[in-house]
């Protein structure tokens, strides 16, 4: 699951500003985006969309696997054209 939420950092703990449906003790990967950075420049504007789309494929974010797949496809097309 990928979802972007707002949170407040207080006394060493991130506290979500909206309800989160997770089991107690769930471990998460957290990407920190400060509001100032989020609103400034093109890179900041694109950050607001991080996590907005989930392809449903566990391989979609695996860049090494994507590179391997592309190389395999390219080699197959190149050999077929010969």
Q: Answer yes or no: do 66 and 30 share one domain.
A: no
- Structural domain count, the chain: 2
Same domain, 47 and 59: no
Q: pLDDT for 35-64, tens place per residue?
A: 765 455 555 556 566 655 566 666 666 667
pTM above 0.75, yes or no: no
What does each C-alpha distance from 3 to 46, 48, 59, 70 come to in angstroms?
Answer: 15, 11, 18, 28
Q: Do 68 and 31 share a domain, yes or no?
A: no
Same domain, 5 and 36: yes
Domain hosting 26: range is 1-51
Q: What pLDDT is stored for residue 35 in this prediction? A: 75
Are residues 40 and 17 part of one domain? yes
46 and 6 part of one domain: yes
C-alpha distances in Å from residue 30, one per residue of 3, 42, 63 = 10, 22, 19
């Amino acid at each position: 699951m990928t979802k972007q939420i707002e949170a407040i950092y207080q006394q060493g703990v991130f506290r979500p500003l909206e309800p989160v449906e997770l089991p107690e003790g769930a471990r998460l990967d957290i990407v920190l985006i400060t509001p100032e950075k989020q609103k400034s420049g093109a890179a900041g504007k694109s950050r607001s969309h991080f996590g907005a789309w989930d392809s449903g494929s566990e391989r979609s974010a695996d860049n090494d696997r994507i590179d391997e797949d592309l190389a395999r496809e390219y080699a197959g097309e190149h050999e077929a054209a010969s």
